[in-house]
Chains A and B, each alone.
Chain A
């Protein structure tokens, strides 16, 4: 088994890059995801249905479509292109684009999980909190946030795992740049396109699977710990 794994410096780069992109994507999406989940769970407003559909959309679209739309939006000739350029911000073909691709693709997963967590909170607890003098933001931080930790955790691990595997959107909007945007899936793709890199591809695949297993395992363990505390 150990003999099967041969990783070059390029591959180590890819592994670290994958981890970094996934971590930043999750960390950056958490506050937004939490806020969106809160809005969807507790507020009624016009256009709520539309928002629900829009948020779930990335789950059903092929990632390459998402990547292409991101390109149309953020590219040099894209809708936001001139604006970004005047602010000196370069996104396409940078690791930031990889983060954006992962974030967009994984966002629905995050929001869903947090929503499920929030919806399982007894609404009477929230009513109780109000009658005891807590305005909505106070209730949000002292009651809703602590009680939706499980959902937040589940969503984060799911999104992290999804980011590690993100390919379609990433390759279009961040490109395949070793050391900069070449995450594990992109590296495997490159190896797999060439007849002479079978073992390399396989090694990275094994690493990829191990990482995914690791996250899922961690998620289960944390989940159990949390429910024991209660």
Chain B
């Protein structure tokens, strides 16, 4: 074993003069990670200096992950759509629609006295399934009617926002079942120091000050987002559908001539983007025990930002899920970091905007040198 380990590096090295293009590709892949580490370091120091808090605490890191979930859920669909040379400006509003519909269903069913085991799944599923409609229309407009996706999804965004406002009457949908918040804000594991682990609920014996010692690990919402991310990663990188998205974004005509069912694929990818937004909306309703039409406002822009930071090309054909995960983590870190530092939330937009512009510059720079 030891001998093998010694000889292997010799066998592969030295890597014969890596080409410039490869180096650039590396830089483009790696910079968001480097930037992420840099931001975390920066916030850690700033938090220590400015208000003597620990940015690297377990609580803070979970906070970042929670912030990440919404950006990422929207970003996953957006990644696939952008790879197919499209864009979806409606997903943030679709998130709001899902949250409103889910909340309305749960409010109604709870008032009717249905069991929690029915109320929550039916409500969430209802919110998610409704999103198939705008997603399908988006895809249909782009694939069949050939409306530029920028325009069709912008229009769809406003239409969906209007629909969600009408359904909710313009107010947050309150009067939710009390257990909803436990699900939305609960965690998979509860680590009670010195007393072991329990699942889904803090141990009942832990009372009063003892609760301080119970550490929730892996929030449900984060767990679900991780599962969904894995599924999307699999779809994009391992399946024929994923491969066809790359082909359509890379060379539309080639995809058509190769016999790929281009229209069907495009419709499907917009439906997927909408369903993912629907999942994000249902989770939003659970976390905030409410539904609001503007729950995901500006969400699509954050999602697109994450995708671009992750190395996708807005011209299509390039991008991947891992990149979007980093992009979403980076944006969430900035958002959360600024909150921890006690800055006004408006700074978030400014900061994210700057990072997106950096991402585009890195991308452009790489392309021109290539």
> Are both chains from one complex?
no
Binding site for A on B (CB under 8 A): none
Binding site for B on A (CB under 8 A): none
